[in-house]
Chain A
Amino acid sequence: MRRRLLLLAATFLATPALADTSATGYGGPGNVLNPSGLGPDRPRDEDGLSPLTDGTSRSPTGLLYPIPFRTPEMTQSESDPDWWSSGWIEAGLLGTFGQDTKSAMLNEYGDWRSGGVLNFGFLAENRVTALYLSAQAENVGRSDQFYQVKIGRYGVFDLTAYYDSIPHLYSTTAKSLWDGVGTDTLTLRQGLTPGASTAAQVNAVAAAVGASDLAVTREKAGTSATWSPDKNWELFVKASNEWRTGTQPISATFGYPFQNGATQIIEPIHYQTVDVSSGVRWKGDNIQANLTYSGSFFRNGSDSLTWQNPGLNNNPNPNSFIPTVGQLSLPPNNDYHTLKGDFAWVVSPDLRIAGSLSESLMRQNDNLLAPTADSGVIEGAATRINLNQWNTAAALVRPSADAAIDIFNAFAQVHYTVSPSVNVSFELRDRDEKDLTNYLAYNPQTGQLGYIAIDGGLAAFNPAMSGVYETTVAGSNVQYRNMPFANSNLQMTASGGWRIDNHLKLDLSLSQNEIDHTVREVPNADDDIAKISLAATGYSWGTARLSYQFARRTGSDYESNPYTPYYTASLPGYIPATPAGDQAFALADLRKFDVANRTEHKVRAQTNEILADDLDLQVGGDATIEDYDAQYGLKSTTSWDATTSLNYQVSNATSLTGYVTWQTQNRGVANINPIGTGPNPAAGGPVYPLAAAWTETVGSHDVTFGATFRHSWGAFQFDADYTFTHSDTGVNYTFASTAAFFSLLTPAQAGSAFPDITYDAHTLQATLRWQITDTLSTRFLYRFDYEQLDDFHYTGLTAGAISNNTYLGVVPENFVAQTVGMFVQYAF
């Protein structure tokens, strides 16, 4: 933390006087006690926006403006009358009570620990030179603290420096079988033997070890500066440095399910991301232009995770190879550069042209790990793999990744006003992506193509899946090259707007999007989109908006296996698994939804009704229906939601709001279990018989209810906020026969549905504020939190061994908790 603050100070001092108000990835600051980030805490102004209006004030769409906050007055300096200032300091105590106060779900993104709370800030400005200085600090010393300092001259330059901390707590119940948590090397605890432990031993160690937290803290320090030498020019530069440190759960396996087991382990997180951005903006009367460079540089303090394998397995052959250690690559260091130029030109009152060009480069060239961390020899019926020839960098065809992607974007828009009530526009959007990565899996030591699958854990059970291309073995079909996926789009849109009268506007648009995929099942696709929307605004009764969009994606013939060129089956001399050919790669009748044909309907409607001068009713909803024209794979999705909300501004002192949102989402999936052998990929064939077909549907229903109440009287202000969320997801399935799954289960054991995934959350927060004197105030906070999550993935899961797999015991941590707080603020 101290290092972070020193770095913050250094970046603050080193950066020239500029500021930018458009940071990406930093929209704050804020935290759970102050989500809006407004400081100091202050009452609303009971005079409202204006005593001249007869009641409330609304936005042009008709939404009620809330009552503004009262802004503290500034004090003139006695020593230098040009300077005025105001400040505040608030200190308090927070107490969180209940049996589940440490719950990872309660503390997922916020610091609700009992303890002290300190906030402060100030603003000073010179009313002659227009210089100003401000600072704000919230939740000092807590894991969700933030700080911000600004220096500037109104209308000329702004320099901002900030530090923000975001906690992310994953679990408080993790029981690690390994020592070395937080490092890149995990060694089994005493009582366990690498590659030779039993389930009983695993459970004994899991029972004995204490639970520990898995959490990551994201700390970001940055500075931004903007300088406007005149009203037309703006220059800016930004820089930030983000650290993510901690641990999070991760898993990795040593073989197929029911062969060598999977292990839930703990990943060390030592991420650092440096972002820089700089640019210039011209804001002329008829011509505007932006030119921006952005760079992002990600660094990972751990490039790999190595861990010892407990060795649980269901291997009937006692002499088969069981890996004793595994090695997992972690996110590699990478660099990202973007140069972007935007342009807008009002050619005439009727004609406007806008455009954008950008080129982005993504680069990654980390040193590669060896194909395995294990040693020993794997003896097979027809093969022999000496892992000692695969577990060093000498087994690599090149030492580093040399991975690269280039992306070019171009956007052009022409807007023409045909008549006072009609306008048309044309847009072209071109995206061209190139994946330049070219990797060959080849071991110079052995002269073999391929790799070592799962540190050798597959080889003993499935020699053809060892990862090593055995040229004399039938069916040794191994992926030996990377697949350079790339997507390019060319989208052309024509649209028109018709102002029917002063209130009604109708918009129509037609769009064609040509999509090219490199190495996908559909090389070329067209996405045709038509949209109509109607806006009815400025009526005395309110505003309404309605839109409908239809989209139809069609493409070239679907090829269920476009990946052969990247497998050894494409090489001369390859021996197929059978004389008839290799095993079918994929179900030919399945359609991958992200590239396959799709028909989509989207409807959206919203109205804001002004029921009375002080009362709004908002009703809205949307529906999306997607049909993927597929017998197998994702077949369809539907979703719809509806919201009703009321906003009642009783007076400047009292307001009440409430809303209810309903949501439903459904999707249907079908597939066939490949129980047969042979090259025929068709549904109903020997590989994918219809007797092994199954379907699954996922249906979610959500309800969210929220209400707020605010009332001020005299020196007191009371705020209350309640939110309730309920979701219920059912996952149901049907199957033609037990061939759809491991037929060791009976239909009765398989059932027809999983237990519903349900989530209920209640949050009630009430605050009473007392303005004791002009400078002294206090507030009392009460908060009730409840969350209950039931997810079948975790029901009954405990730390230890389940079959031949080991788990940490990371499960949802339901909670009931109450928080009280008292804060005293002094303003100066």
Chain B
Amino acid sequence: MATPGTLMPIRFPIVLLAALMLLSGVARAGDAPFGADLPKPVFTQMAQAGSDAPFGAGLPKPIFTHMEQSAEPAPAPAQQPQQPDDGLFFVGQETCATCHQSEATNWAHTTHAKVFNLHPRDAREEKNCEACHGPGSAHVEDPSDMTKIISFSHKSKTPISAQNEQCLTCHKGGQRIFWHDSIHEQNKLACSDCHNPMGTFAAHGLTAKDSISQTCFGCHKEQHAEFGKRSHMPLLEGKITCTDCHNPHGSTTPPLLKADSINELCYTCHADKRGPFLFEHAPVHENCLNCHNPHGSNFENLLTTPRPVLCQQCHSQDGHPAQLLTMGNLPHGPMPDPRLIATSCQTCHVNIHGSNDPSGSRFER
């Protein structure tokens, strides 16, 4: 069993490695990307339709790569963009809209359309439809062959990993920096499982359903039910969303939290519980979820189990914590007991999350 001292030799190289990577990342921010000396590949067609291969792993050439043939930055939007050299070519948004008029109309109101149409930042964004769907010439020739266009729905012949890489071409980094190997990515979730940028479905985030929370509930039904329980945070009332606590695009924690720990996350809204206090309560300090279920509970204050059972799971000290409380201790019973009635143990131990009172070691003050 490791003792605290033995962890230090392991921690130091980890920290050093992470620090070196971080610093080198900042230092290299101005460098040309990896492979700058190699010819920049252009738009090509997937050699094997339907292959769900990992990104770039010696597979059929990805359909989307950089447009440039050299290490030069992308040409300014005013310049004539280059066409791919594998027989495919861009047909232009007008051609797309000839058949996809409804899609073009829906899309025109979205954020992507506004950026691409009004302020494209590179030649790719100038392409509008084809910025995401790839060169459309083959699709125009044979619209029924789904292998000839990048698409993002269930009928798509584009592997999910390739679909996601399309989105990540622009949306890499930032809040999606830990997307790869996240639980959603491991479960082969596509960006377009949660997002649909082709129309207005929601107020925020170009989500596929009416709201962020409804989108998450598409798969996470249990949590939908829990938010409807007797004790819940105001998610169904529209005041918070799933993404107030979770980053569905990946994070440093397995449950995709937006902070490095559960407690630090809870403290972003519940700063009054943050302390530090003179007298901390060990299970509170350990993990808020020792006592609370954040999605919803049948018991007040999102507790995992009713009091006093909650406290008696741990407490057996001399005095009163381990006395069984019964029916006879209810308000109209023969021995009404404040340890059971109303807030139960917290009737007396009120500062249960920690006390800053010099007389608060038992959280009564």
Instruction: Knowing A154-B111, A331-B272, A499-B53, say if A343 contacts B106 (CB, 8 Å).
Output: no
What is the distance, in angstroms, from B362's C-beta to the closest C-beta of chain A?
7
Chain B window 92-132, contacts with chain A (Cβ cutoff 8 Å), 1 for yes, 0 for no: 00000001101100100101001101111110010000000
Q: Taking each of A38, A257, A401, A796, which has the highest tally of chain B beta carbons within 10 Å of its own beta carbon?
A: A257
User: When chains A and B are docked, how far (Å) is the Cα of A255 from the Cα of B220?
Assistant: 46
Q: Is B89 an interface residue (CB 8 A)?
A: no
User: When chains A and B are docked, how far (Å) is the Cα of A68 from the Cα of B350?
Assistant: 49
5 more A-B residue pairs beyond the given contacts A357-B18, A694-B324, A750-B326, with a C-beta to C-beta distance below 8 A: A60-B163, A61-B190, A286-B34, A401-B356, A420-B54
Q: Is B208 an interface residue (CB 8 A)?
A: yes
User: When chains A and B are docked, how far (Å) is the Cα of A347 from the Cα of B285?
Assistant: 39
User: When chains A and B are docked, how far (Å) is the Cα of A645 from the Cα of B332?
Assistant: 44
Q: Is B282 an interface residue (CB 8 A)?
A: yes
Q: Is B83 an interface residue (CB 8 A)?
A: no
Q: Taking each of A331, A341, A592, which has the highest tally of chain B beta carbons within 10 Å of its own beta carbon?
A: A331
Per DSSP, chain B at the interface is loop
What is the distance, in angstroms, from A23's C-beta to the closest C-beta of chain B?
8
What is the distance, in angstroms, from B285's C-beta to the closest C-beta of chain A?
5
Partner of A793, one of B3, B244, B264, B341: B341
Chain B window 305-335, contacts with chain A (Cβ cutoff 8 Å), 1 for yes, 0 for no: 1110100111111111011111111111111
Q: Taking each of B199, B226, B356, B360, which has the highest tally of chain A beta carbons within 10 Å of its own beta carbon?
A: B356
Give the residues from 252 to 282 in chain B that come closer than 8 angstroms, CB to CB, to chain A. 252, 258-261, 264, 267-269, 271-280, 282
| CB <8 Å contact, A594 and B331 | no
Residues of chain A contacted by B167 (CB below 8 angstroms): none
Partner of B341, one of A49, A153, A290, A797: A797
Stretch at the interface among A92-100, A187-195, A664-672, A774-782: A664-672
Residues of chain A contacted by B362 (CB below 8 angstroms): 453, 479
Chain A window 319-331, contacts with chain B (Cβ cutoff 8 Å), 1 for yes, 0 for no: 0000000111101
User: When chains A and B are docked, how far (Å) is the Cα of A96 from the Cα of B114?
Assistant: 42
Chain B window 230-270, contacts with chain A (Cβ cutoff 8 Å), 1 for yes, 0 for no: 10001011111111100100001000001111001001110
User: When chains A and B are docked, how far (Å) is the Cα of A745 from the Cα of B24?
Assistant: 71
Q: Is A224 an interface residue (CB 8 A)?
A: no
| CB <8 Å contact, A156 and B279 | no
Stretch at the interface among A175-183, A203-211, A406-414, A816-824: A406-414
| CB <8 Å contact, B29 and A290 | no
Residues of chain A contacted by B358 (CB below 8 angstroms): 368-371, 395-396, 441, 451
User: When chains A and B are docked, how far (Å) is the Cα of A798 from the Cα of B252?
Assistant: 49
What is the distance, in angstroms, from A220's C-beta to the closest C-beta of chain B?
10
Q: Is B357 an interface residue (CB 8 A)?
A: yes
A-B contact pairs, 11 of them (CB 8 A): A49-B102, A128-B118, A332-B277, A356-B18, A403-B278, A420-B58, A535-B186, A535-B188, A643-B222, A659-B224, A794-B341
Residues of chain B contacted by A66 (CB below 8 angstroms): 201, 208-210
| CB <8 Å contact, B102 and A741 | no
Residues of chain A contacted by B228 (CB below 8 angstroms): 704, 723, 725, 761
Q: Is A185 an interface residue (CB 8 A)?
A: no
Stretch at the interface among A1-9, A50-58, A376-384: A50-58
What is the distance, in angstroms, from A161's C-beta to the closest C-beta of chain B?
16
Q: Is A490 an interface residue (CB 8 A)?
A: yes
Give the residues from 53 to 112 in chain B that come closer than 8 angstroms, CB to CB, to chain A. 53-59, 66, 99-100, 102-103, 106, 109, 111
User: When chains A and B are docked, how far (Å) is the Cα of A802 from the Cα of B330?
Assistant: 10
Partner of A451, one of B118, B125, B330, B361: B361
Q: Is B160 an interface residue (CB 8 A)?
A: yes
Which residue of chain A is the closest to B178 with respect to CB atoms? A354
What is the distance, in angstroms, from B196's C-beta to the closest C-beta of chain A?
6
Partner of A28, one of B119, B238, B260, B331: B238
| CB <8 Å contact, A334 and B331 | no
Q: Is A454 an interface residue (CB 8 A)?
A: yes
Residues of chain A contacted by B192 (CB below 8 angstroms): 59-60
Residues of chain B contacted by A31 (CB below 8 angstroms): 237-239
Residues of chain B contacted by A731 (CB below 8 angstroms): 306, 309
Instruction: Knowing A155-B119, A286-B33, A329-B351, say if A58 contacts B238 (CB, 8 Å).
Output: no
Q: Is A114 an interface residue (CB 8 A)?
A: no
Residues of chain B contacted by A556 (CB below 8 angstroms): 1
How many residues of chain A are within 8 Å of chain B by beta carbon?
A: 258
User: When chains A and B are docked, how far (Å) is the Cα of A810 from the Cα of B224?
Assistant: 28
| CB <8 Å contact, A793 and B208 | no
| CB <8 Å contact, B225 and A661 | yes
Give the residues from 447 to 470 in chain A that come closer than 8 angstroms, CB to CB, to chain B. 451-455, 467
Instruction: Knowing A66-B201, A487-B286, say if A28 contacts B240 (CB, 8 Å).
Output: yes
What is the distance, in angstroms, from B71's C-beta to the closest C-beta of chain A?
11
What is the distance, in angstroms, from A728's C-beta to the closest C-beta of chain B?
9
Partner of B160, one of A34, A60, A555, A735: A60
User: When chains A and B are docked, how far (Å) is the Cα of A803 from the Cα of B286?
Assistant: 36
Residues of chain A contacted by B299 (CB below 8 angstroms): 729, 757
| CB <8 Å contact, B175 and A22 | yes
Partner of A751, one of B213, B290, B328, B355: B328
Instruction: Knowing A109-B239, A345-B21, A347-B34, say if A125 contacts B118 (CB, 8 Å).
Output: yes
User: When chains A and B are docked, how far (Å) is the Cα of A289 from the Cα of B106?
Assistant: 34
Q: Is B218 an interface residue (CB 8 A)?
A: yes
Partner of B280, one of A28, A482, A669, A805: A482
Residues of chain B contacted by A580 (CB below 8 angstroms): none
User: When chains A and B are docked, how far (Å) is the Cα of A610 from the Cα of B155?
Assistant: 12
Instruction: Knowing A61-B193, A750-B326, say if A793 contacts B344 (CB, 8 Å).
Output: yes
Instruction: Knowing A334-B274, A355-B18, A733-B326, say if A290 contacts B342 (CB, 8 Å).
Output: no
| CB <8 Å contact, B277 and A364 | yes
Chain A window 572-589, contacts with chain B (Cβ cutoff 8 Å), 1 for yes, 0 for no: 000000000001111100
| CB <8 Å contact, A71 and B332 | no
Q: Is A404 an interface residue (CB 8 A)?
A: yes
Instruction: Knowing A595-B286, A669-B309, say if A154 contacts B173 (CB, 8 Å).
Output: no
What is the distance, in angstroms, from A569's C-beta to the closest C-beta of chain B?
13
Q: Is A711 an interface residue (CB 8 A)?
A: no
Instruction: Knowing A38-B202, A155-B115, A537-B160, say if A47 contacts B102 (CB, 8 Å).
Output: yes
User: When chains A and B are docked, how far (Å) is the Cα of A516 from the Cα of B312?
Assistant: 24
Q: Is A514 an interface residue (CB 8 A)?
A: yes
| CB <8 Å contact, B152 and A453 | no
Which residue of chain B is the closest to A370 with respect to CB atoms? B358
Chain A window 292-314, contacts with chain B (Cβ cutoff 8 Å), 1 for yes, 0 for no: 00001010100000000000000
| CB <8 Å contact, B4 and A488 | yes
| CB <8 Å contact, B286 and A742 | no
User: When chains A and B are docked, how far (Å) is the Cα of A420 from the Cα of B242?
Assistant: 35
Partner of B271, one of A51, A262, A334, A454: A334
Partner of B210, one of A36, A620, A663, A704: A36
What is the distance, in angstroms, from A339's C-beta to the closest C-beta of chain B?
11
Q: Is A629 an interface residue (CB 8 A)?
A: no
| CB <8 Å contact, B348 and A687 | no
What is the distance, in angstroms, from A113's C-beta to the closest C-beta of chain B?
15
User: When chains A and B are docked, how far (Å) is the Cα of A805 from the Cα of B347?
Assistant: 10
| CB <8 Å contact, B364 and A357 | no
Residues of chain B contacted by A51 (CB below 8 angstroms): 102
Q: Is A444 an interface residue (CB 8 A)?
A: no
Give the residues from 1 to 51 in chain B that come closer than 8 angstroms, CB to CB, to chain A. 1-4, 7, 10-11, 14-15, 17-19, 21-22, 24-26, 28-29, 33-35, 50-51
Residues of chain B contacted by A228 (CB below 8 angstroms): 121
User: When chains A and B are docked, how far (Å) is the Cα of A429 from the Cα of B338?
Assistant: 44
What is the distance, in angstroms, from A483's C-beta to the closest C-beta of chain B?
7
Q: Is A79 an interface residue (CB 8 A)?
A: no
Give the residues from 478 to 529 in chain A that come closer than 8 angstroms, CB to CB, to chain B. 479, 482-483, 485-488, 490, 495, 497, 499, 502-503, 505, 507, 514, 516-517, 519-520, 524, 526
| CB <8 Å contact, A49 and B106 | yes
